[in-house]
Amino acid sequence: MIIKCAWCGLVIDDSDTGPVSHGICPSCKKQLLSEKEESEKDEKKIPLESTAKEQSIRVRI
Ligand SMILES: [Zn+2]
């Protein structure tokens, strides 16, 4: 299996031939970890969508 970085496309592991799988290279992992701290506030927007769906289900019942 060939492992490519899903962010920059860098080949992480091409020791085996076969289907291409996606992973993350060390440099992108560092960047992602630093961005994660900043985006934690934005993650709160996702549960709001699920509660809206739950409310629409309650209306049907
Ligand atoms: Zn990368």
Statement: the pTM of the whole predicted model exceeds 0.85: no
Distance (Å) from CA 39 to ligand 1 centroid: 19
pLDDT digits 0-9 by tens, 44-61:
655 556 666 666 666 665
Segments in the chain forming alpha helices (H): 26-39, 45-60
- Residue 21: pLDDT band with limits 50, 70, 90: very high
Q: What is the CA radius of gyration of the chain?
A: 19
Span 7-28, mean pLDDT?
Answer: 94
Non-local (6+) Cβ contacts of 6 within 8 A are 22, 23, 24
Percent of the chain with pLDDT over 70: 64
Distance (Å) from CA 44 to ligand 1 centroid: 26
Distance (Å) from CA 22 to ligand 1 centroid: 10
Distance (Å) from CA 24 to ligand 1 centroid: 6
The residue type found at 41 is K
Non-local (6+) Cβ contacts of 21 within 8 A are 1, 2, 3, 4
Distance (Å) from CA 45 to ligand 1 centroid: 27
Residue showing tokens 């934690």: 40
